[in-house]
């Protein structure tokens, strides 16, 4: 999942327009978390298992970001 989450086509071109997003993607990926721009940005999508690192949560909030912990496909047993 980590390798698949790297956008080699668009992310670098958007970096100048989304400096905070770009910095956070780099920070998360440096910690081994699968992170990418969600849609056209500025939302960062981070896919992980287990608990999200508390220090990253605090740092994100200090940067004025809102961290949402969402379950994936709650109630869905199969996706076709």
Which string of DSSP letters, residue by residue, matches 9-78? SSHHHHTTT-HHHHHHHHHHHHTT-EEEE-TTSS-EEEE-SSPPPHHHHHHHHHTT-------SSTT---
Task: Give the pLDDT confidence of 9-49 residue by residue, as tens digits.
Answer: 667 777 788 899 999 999 999 999 999 988 777 889 998 88
pTM of the entire structure? 0.77
Model confidence at 69, in pLDDT bands (50, 70, 90)?
confident
């Amino acid at each position: 999942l980590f390798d698949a989450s790297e956008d080699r086509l668009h992310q670098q071109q958007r970096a100048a327009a989304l400096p905070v997003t770009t910095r956070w993607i780099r920070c998360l990926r440096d910690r081994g978390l699968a992170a990418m721009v969600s849609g056209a940005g500025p939302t960062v999508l981070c896919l992980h298992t287990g608990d999200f690192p508390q220090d990253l949560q605090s740092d994100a909030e200090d940067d004025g970001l809102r961290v949402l912990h969402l379950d994936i496909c709650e109630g869905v047993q199969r996706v076709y």
